[in-house]
Chain A
Amino acid sequence: MSNIDRRSLVKGSLAVMMAGAASRAAFAQSSEPILLGVSGPLTGPNAQYGTQWKQGFDLALDEIMAAGGINGRKLAYQFEDSQSDPRQSVAIAQKFVSDPRIVMELGDFSSPASMAASPIYQRGGLVQFGFTNSHPDFTKGGDFMWSTSVSQADEQPLLAAYAVKRLGLKKLAVLHLNTDWGRTSRDYFVKAAKGYGAEIAVTEGYIAEERDFRSTLVRVRDASPDGLILISYYSDGALIARQARQVGLKQVICAASSVYSPKFLELGGEAVEDVHLGTRYFPEDPRPEVKKFIAGFKAKYGGQEPDAFNAYSYDAMNMAAAVVKIGGTDRRAVRDAFAKVKDVSSVIFGSATFDVESRRVKGAMNAELVVRKGQFALWDGKPT
């Protein structure tokens, strides 16, 4: 499962405890791997996302090792389960900050867990690389907070352009997860869509645990939109699409890239046929980094198609490797290296370079897909 298995982890930490500070210098040049800390959910309500992270990390690490590691040294990560609970993520933060082997931290998943830990990473001088943290204030936590999460200010106008300009929708119903991510996304989407001349008929926010959307869809129907916009993850997106078709709504559905997952097709079945979605990459993408990612992923995980969260974590591990190659194992140098890395090959961005001001990456790739015959396919321009 994880890159360093539990036994070596136990052995490692025991060794550190027993050997004490004296031998730490010896580790630095030895064959001990360069260690990254990961704080994320492996149990609890968000556990699925933590397991997806691991898949992406492990694939990227395989490739990094095959290419000779980091200047001849191995790269590894230590995954600590936070359950996306701020109480646990702050304890993990102190754990990583006080562990001299850790050179950088990745995660956490949810905003409350990630941003509660930020002050500790900032004061402790350890980079918190939040690769799924789209909260606009995340990188404002300090100069040790960096993120490759696609800015919703970038993504939502692309989706709005797809829905309004390309698909010709004029009157939209927006359904969004009522979380910091969903809310921020909705605001950017609404602004962009209005800018393109569309009318927003109704917006409905729902909580993550919601399963039943029938009554919400009656509200949507009564607003008589010509298109439904889903700012959802794949499981709730599939539920909404199914129930929309069941209650007889036949409008065009257009979804945010976070539904991009084989699970969306599995859970949605026939109901997600002809759903449009903007994504950062697609299965037949000719870009070499995408081909390598998809082929590698399928080979490693028995033919399974990768999804958006796999891609985020794969990219994050590659970015971490590129940063550590420049910055080495000194934590400050690692932070400074984030400003120095240029054009890192990336599934999401094509090539990623940080904007030093915002500590984020701009200019995500864009592909306009549609579900055809139960598969994601590049949209051919035909109306549905």
Chain B
Amino acid sequence: MSSWLDYTINGLIVGNVYALVAVGLALIFGVSRLINFAQGSIYLVGAYIGWVAVVQLHTPLPLTIIVVAVAAALVGLIIERFGLRPLQNSVRIAPLLATIGISFVLDQLVMLTFSPNPRALPSQLPDVRFQVGGGTIGPLDLLIAGVGLTSALLLFVFLRYSKLGWAVRAASQDRDAAMQMGVDVNRVNQAVFGIAAALGGVSGMLVGMYYNQIDTAMSLQATLKGVVAEVVGGAGNVPGAVIGSLLLGLVESYGVAVFGTSYRNLFAFLLLVVVLVLRPNGLFASARQAPPEPLTGTFIAPSRPVRIPRWALLAAAAIFAVLPFFPVSFYVLQTLINAWLLGMLALSLTLVAGTIGQVSLGHAALLAIGAYTSALLSMTLSVPVGLSIIGGGLMCAALGTALISPSFRLRGHYVSIATLAIGEIVSLVILNWESVTRGPIGISGIPPLSLFGYDLISPTSIYWFSFAVMVVLALLQGRLLTSHLGRSFRAIRDDDIAARAYGLSLNRYKSLAFIFGGFAAGVSGGIAAHLYSYINHETFNTQQSILALTVVILGGLGNVVGAILGSVALVGLPEVFRIAAEYRILIYGIVLLLLVRFRPQGLLGTM
């Protein structure tokens, strides 16, 4: 019994840590309806500024906290002013992509300045431990809890009783009306970003001290857990974020208690999905609250797509088809093979995200399902590789649609968060379902691609094969978009209430889109498995999901040609920047930001 007390205390302690990030995220979401993917990077920056202050400048703790808060707030203000404010009047998805780009840039800057080696960040508090249950807690636990609760309380008071707080709330309820009443919305945004960033920076520093360890990989994890906690508590709800964090910590801790350590994150993400399905606005949203998202139509704004004449497309296809006859190196062909594989994934995502408006952040899971299915079919059941890839596509269509169906009733950002969680769940199931997936050992010795008994092993033949598959999928999708089905998809995206009033069954159409998209993604994963010959649970990770979304937004949502163009660009750019060695991801991030800034509707525009 005493162990349960310990699990409870441990859950609350780690929940405490999550709360620091979640409160900042909630504040920003509350005002600008934006999930700030750069919050984890500010947390990282705060940790390293804290390191400089403590280890280099030997500042005492109160001064350290002030230094970190001020510096992080400055970073937040810069992000708001130069990264997000210029995008105010563009499509609502542009700022989301901008925060992803900003997080790339910040993480890389920290890595280049401080090297990727982890560092110790010594705690400046006396090392006394208090016995609680079977374990102990230290002064840092109390300080973290104190900072979390105090900041939540202060924010609550600030939002409720101060004039700027009223302005913040007014702006979050109705930005246009607030402006008409004379609220300076920019100043409100500035204040919110400054406060959230200061909080994020201080939390990074405190967590670094807590573990006596900071490294550049902590940013993405912090964002992921923070987002889960925030959405569980009710996006935009500051006290809710604290309670959501504690709940998340408890669920993880009990999950470890009952099933073991390797199931921990599985429970975190299952909690999120369950909460989203049962209470889409989070646990602590009041019933009378206005819908947290505007209708999807404003989330993905229509724009005039760039019309590419048919002859130009044909010419481009012809050039790529005959490319291997010219003296191009296998390296170029391999890079293009990667682009075609990513292109298939992007076709899938541009259909579900762009055409029907379900912005998925877990698309790499579809690759994994396709890859594992095809690999296992060909290896254990000796299915010929060509057929096994189709099997991977079909399995992915079926399983992917089934997994995603609980999130069909969600809208806007919530779909992204739910799919993010589903993607993580798939990866964790692959890790833990050892009898089928061989767990962390992975599957090796997957047979190479083959077609009608002929092995495709030369880069040229793999190039033609993947290009042909992608072109066929693209043509099918192009045909689909011009059919009545495509029009229905877009109608649902642009105004789901009107579409429903018109008699369209939303779930059925969303399922159809996911079935088609799942097939394309599954085929891409299947080809990748046979190309790589080895896969494990890390092969298809969250970064690939984020990359796929970036491709789709860059190309123009719903735009078939745009998805392919975006894939070539985002596979090609990091390769082109190889010459810049360690700086290449930084340059990539900056280019991404510039693209979002000047073409927020994507290179070819939304279809």
Residues of A within 8 A of B (CB): 2, 6, 9-10, 42-45, 47-48, 50-52, 79-81, 83, 85-88, 90-91, 93-95, 97-99, 110-112, 115-116, 118-120, 123-124, 135, 137, 140-141, 175, 178-180, 182-184, 204-207, 209-216, 218-219, 221-222, 235, 238-239, 242, 246-248, 263, 266-269
Contact = CB atoms under 8 A, between A and B. Distances in A.
Interface in B548-607: 571, 574-575, 578-582, 584-585
Contacts of A119: 448, 457, 531-533
Given A179-B440, A248-B134, A112 B212 contact: no
Nearest to A212: B14
Closest 5 CB pairs of A and B: A116-B532, A115-B534, A47-B116, A94-B334, A95-B331
Contacts of A94: 329-331, 333-335, 459
Contacts of A213: 261
Contacts of B261: 175, 204-206, 210, 213, 215-216, 219
B539 A45 contact: no
Contacts of B11: 215
B253 interface: yes
B440 A183 contact: yes
Contacts of B528: 86
A115 B256 contact: no
Contact of A209 (B108, B217, B532, B574): B217
21 contacts: A47-B111, A48-B118, A51-B117, A91-B331, A93-B334, A94-B329, A110-B538, A115-B534, A118-B534, A119-B533, A135-B442, A178-B431, A205-B262, A210-B264, A215-B10, A215-B11, A222-B3, A242-B211, A246-B136, A248-B136, A269-B122
Given A178-B262, A183-B440, A247 B135 contact: yes
Interface in B108-155: 108, 111, 115-120, 122, 129, 131, 134-136, 138
A239 B445 contact: no
Contacts of A263: 117-118
A66 to B, nearest CB: 26
Given A91-B331, A218-B7, A247-B135, A47 B262 contact: no
Contacts of B13: 214
A110 B537 CA distance: 12
Interface of chain B, helix or strand or loop or mixed? Answer: helix
Nearest to B252: A215
Contacts of A216: 256, 261
Contacts of B216: 47
Interface string B253-281: 10011001110110000000000000000
B135 A218 contact: yes
- Among A110, A141, A209, A268, the one with the most B-chain Cβ atoms within 10 Å of its Cβ is A209
A281 B3 CA distance: 41
A52 B441 CA distance: 25
Contacts of A248: 131, 134-136
Nearest to A187: B441
A79 B579 CA distance: 11
Interface residues of B, number: 81
Contact of B262 (A43, A52, A204): A204
Interface in B384-431: 431
Given A112-B538, A235-B213, A247-B135, 17 more contacts: A10-B579, A43-B111, A43-B116, A47-B116, A87-B338, A90-B338, A90-B532, A91-B575, A99-B331, A115-B533, A120-B334, A137-B445, A205-B261, A210-B261, A214-B13, A235-B215, A248-B131
Interface in B303-334: 329-331, 333-334
Contacts of A123: 457-458
A3 B215 CA distance: 26
Contacts of B213: 211, 235, 238-239, 267
Contacts of B17: 212
A154 B252 CA distance: 36
A174 to B, nearest CB: 11
B582 A180 contact: no
Nearest to B257: A215
Contacts of A235: 118, 213, 215
Contacts of B7: 215, 218
B532 A115 contact: yes
A259 B17 CA distance: 26
Find the residue from B13, B459, B531, B538 having the highest chain A CB count within 10 A. Answer: B538
Contacts of B580: 6
B507 interface: no
Contacts of A212: 10, 14, 17
A43 B330 contact: no
Given A6-B581, A47-B111, A215-B253, A246 B138 contact: yes
Nearest to B256: A215
A83 B116 CA distance: 12
B439 interface: yes
B535 to A, nearest CB: 7
A219 B578 CA distance: 46
A246 B318 CA distance: 66
A50 B212 CA distance: 23
A149 B367 CA distance: 31
A90 B333 CA distance: 11
Contacts of B131: 248
Contact of B574 (A88, A112, A140, A268): A88
Contact of B221 (A42, A52, A209): A209
B533 A267 contact: no
Q: Could you say which of B7, B119, B261 has the most chain A C-beta atoms within 10 Å of its C-beta?
A: B261
B581 A81 contact: yes
B2 to A, nearest CB: 10
A267 B212 contact: yes
B444 interface: yes
Nearest to A47: B116
Nearest to A112: B539
Contacts of B253: 214-215
Identify the interface centre among A2, A47, A120: most chain B CB within 10 Å of its CB: A47
